Structure 1
């Protein structure tokens, strides 16, 4: 990918569910190290947009280019090496981690799946937990033994294990207590500065968007109604 090209480029994206058009010709770009917020009321098409960006649901029309590659034409096999580079962080911190697995196993899973688990694996997991502000000893706990903020930090550690360039943050702090939100947002800002991550940030809270995002897109009824810098 040339440095002059966006990390992510979405062109005329369309997502339909039967007769309902959830995403109606949405276009945007996202540069490396940048935060772009998708803002709007419930049902406006934000989540359907990012689901299509991640290729978790194939769009009905349009293009999604990531690191210069057009993803919508790739087979599932061809997408396999791309997926670690674009990782989601979900709204529900407990729902994103299996209740049957200890935190250390959840964080280690991407390393195992991607064939990168070796003798250094346990120390790598400890480093990831420490990087997100969790005592590595918390790796021995199950998700229900953590607070919401701690569990979300563990989910972020799990996403970082894949060494992504893009994190898709789907309302990552809306389920957290107000006193905890700032800490998680500050962590994400620090990680972005340290690792050069790009964030596609879904949020309905305009105050958080103004504080956290470089640019924002407002959606309504599946369409972009406003876009600009914060």
Structure 2
């Protein structure tokens, strides 16, 4: 590629008089994990929302696959959204409690016009298998799964639209140590297999130094020397 998968320049996010992200710049290549590390309130999650254009930045550039996103309308963003997917901290909160896991994983395929009744169910089963879930988990609802299983289902849902970038916002902080290791190993295997780029947001310095290729330490919306 002649350009990074994700290229962020001078990003600014404000909430009224408070500057949550203050002229932050970074890039992420395909197959690379960049971690944003720092305490609560340092601007990590605000950066993630701005990258995904779920919260429009107040200034700066966000380029994905070479295309500037900040000036696009929601209609223009729609075809790009399948290629940059979030995985959130709370595995139960990110899935509808009323939906079976199988339906939750199938939903992105339907929303983005990729559902085919002939092979859609097989695609869902393939996704569940890819993240290490028994197909029988597809018939359960989130409250019937463990936290680790639920987070794996959330990853399967993110993979359904064939993304190039995953924005992982504290994806293992709600899990105990043994389950956390399994999910991190899964993410590493998926990256190797699919060439995904990861923007990995985590407050645990030991986790990011083990998992990430590069780390940006943040305080008050800015990078700080390490």
TM-score w.r.t. the length of structure 1 is 0.97
SS of the counterpart of 2:102?
A: helix
CA distance in 2, matches of 1:137, 1:66: 36
Equivalent residue in structure 1 for 2:65, among 49, 56, 67: 67
1:212 aligned partner: 211
CA distance in 1, matches of 2:225, 2:141: 42
Q: 5+ residue gaps in structure 1? A: none
1:200 aligned partner: 199
CA distance in 2, matches of 1:206, 1:21: 24
Root-mean-square deviation (CA, aligned residues, Å) is 0.7
CA distance in 1, matches of 2:105, 2:20: 33
1:223 aligned partner: 222
Equivalent residues in 2 for 1:30-41 (5 A)? 30-41=28-39
2:123 aligned partner: 124
| Match status 1:136 vs 2:156 | no
1:152 aligned partner: 151
Spell out structure 1 runs of 4+ moving beyond 2 A: none
CA distance in 1, matches of 2:40, 2:216: 14
CA deviation map 1:104-135 (0-9, x unaligned): 00000000001111110000000000000000
CA distance in 1, matches of 2:167, 2:135: 25
Equivalent residue in structure 2 for 1:109, among 101, 107, 110: 107
Q: 5+ residue gaps in structure 2? A: none
CA distance in 1, matches of 2:109, 2:7: 28
Question: Following TM superposition, by how much is the alpha carbon of 1:226 offset from its aligned partner in structure 2, in angstroms?
Answer: 3.0
CA deviation map 1:48-81 (0-9, x unaligned): 0110000001000000000000000100000001
2:8 aligned partner: 10
Equivalent residues in 2 for 1:18-97 (5 A)? 18-97=16-95
CA deviation map 1:134-174 (0-9, x unaligned): 00111000000000000000000000001000000001000
CA distance in 2, matches of 1:161, 1:218: 31
CA distance in 2, matches of 1:120, 1:114: 16
Question: Following TM superposition, by how much is the alpha carbon of 1:224 offset from its aligned partner in structure 2, in angstroms?
Answer: 1.0
